[in-house]
Amino acid sequence: MKLAVQLYSLRVFAEKNGPEEMLKLVSEAGYDGVEFAGFYGKAPAEMKKLLEKYHLQALSAHIGAAAIAENLPYIDELGIRYVFIPWVATETFADKEKYAELLASTAEAKALLEKRGIVLGYHNHAHEFAGGGDYMKQFVEDAHIAAETDVFWLHVGGKDPVSYMKGMGEKLKAVHIKEAAAGDAAALDQPVVGEGVIDMPAVFAQAKAQGVELAVLEVEKFPCGEKEYLKKSLQNMRRFAK
């Protein structure tokens, strides 16, 4: 199983220090690679050189369905193998016309990626489960795409992460590893992975049982310095992934 960092986690660090220092930080912490959420104004070839310099793999990326075509130069140059749609608003799911447009743009994006052997999927937050519904499952099934489950947002959305992962079956291709604190988790800093309320050993065990090859650390709010957090979380992630 490859262990990566969703670079959105380091957006503040990147703003202060630049994308190269951000990649250096991830590399020195010991991760296999990264999941992109934007490309920091770098040309595809420039970003590839930075990844090679710091011995990191471009394992995946978060890109909206309608923006995938314009980002193909990055996807191709960096060798990205998984692309996940990071967000769809509730009103899009709930409106038949908007949902039909989403399915159409997703189908177009999927066709472009499948030619390249790239997996397209959807990444959940908590709003997909409001009111007892499950827009995550509906979209994944209707669009015939894969799933990247975010265990933090499943927890916030009232779902048991392990059970939900299991229910995704073969569609589950990646897992966002994001810890939750006790109480109002969405309003609090995330603890180091393995030190919060989510059963991370069970999450990793379930991911392995389903043949998931990618676990991606994401942090909304750091409880300590980025360097310390990345290293401590990776130590636990490696232990759980054994």
- Mean pLDDT throughout 146-173? 98
Band of pLDDT at residue 67, cut at 50, 70 and 90: very high
Question: In the chain, what percentage of residues exceed pLDDT 70?
Answer: 100
Band of pLDDT at residue 180, cut at 50, 70 and 90: very high
User: CA 161, CA 113: separation in Å to the nearest integer?
Assistant: 28
- Mean pLDDT throughout 100-111? 98
Q: What is the DSSP string of 109-164?
A: HHHHHHTTT-EEEEE--SGGGGGG--HHHHHHHHHT-EEEEEHHHHHHTT--HHHH
- Mean pLDDT throughout 204-225? 97
> What pLDDT was estimated at residue 121?
98
- Mean pLDDT throughout 151-177? 98
pLDDT in tens, 7-60: 999 999 999 999 999 999 999 999 999 999 999 999 999 999 999 999 999 999
Q: What is the DSSP string of 54-114?
A: TT-EEEEEE--GGGTGGGHHHHHHHT--EEEE----HHHHH-HHHHHHHHHHHHHHHHHHH
* CATH homologous superfamily of 2-241: Divalent-metal-dependent TIM barrel enzymes (3.20.20.150)
Band of pLDDT at residue 225, cut at 50, 70 and 90: very high
- Mean pLDDT throughout 135-164? 98
DSSP, collapsed to helix, strand or coil, labels residue 194 as: coil
> What pLDDT was estimated at residue 128?
98
pLDDT in tens, 198-212: 999 999 999 999 999
Q: Residue 112 corresponds to which tokens in the numbers above?
A: 């472009």
> What pLDDT was estimated at residue 107?
98
Q: Residue 104 corresponds to which tokens in the numbers above?
A: 């159409």
